[in-house]
Amino acid sequence: MLHWTQVWKHMRDLTNRDIEKRAVMEFISYFEKQINLVISQSVKELNKKNRLCGIQGLRQTQRIDRRCVREAIKTINNNGYSDLSGRTGDVIQEVKKESKKHSQENTEVA
């Protein structure tokens, strides 16, 4: 997808150093995987948006828009954790706090 010479030139302009072609190819490989993740997650975001539109009786869309891509990136960067609060449907893991009780044994003042 990404052409290596454009990436190479950009890397060279930013760093003012020589860049190996293998380094550029590694860089491109990483970002192509990330692009594929964002595209897949964008489809999920569109489906989620359409489910919500269906509930509200609104017209569903067929096109992945800017919002879908933005939400996909946000979801991937949050490792799948929702930004929703507990009241709006997010699952929150309960943290058990240990209550520390003062022992009655060493309460005498000398």
For residue 91, CA distances in Å to 45, 71, 76, 87 come to 19, 19, 17, 9
Task: Name the phi and psi angles at 33, rounded to 5.
Answer: -65, -40
What pTM does this model have? 0.65
Q: Where are the domains of the chain?
A: 4-83
Number of other residues whose CB lies within 10 A of the CB of residue 6: 11
Q: How do residues 38-85 score in pLDDT, each as one tens digit?
A: 999 999 999 999 999 999 999 999 999 999 999 999 999 987 665 555
- CATH 1.10.260.40 describes domain 4-83: no
- pLDDT of residue 91 exceeding 70, the answer is no
Could you tell me which residue, 110 or 76, shows the higher pLDDT?
Answer: 76
Q: Which amino acid is at 33?
A: K
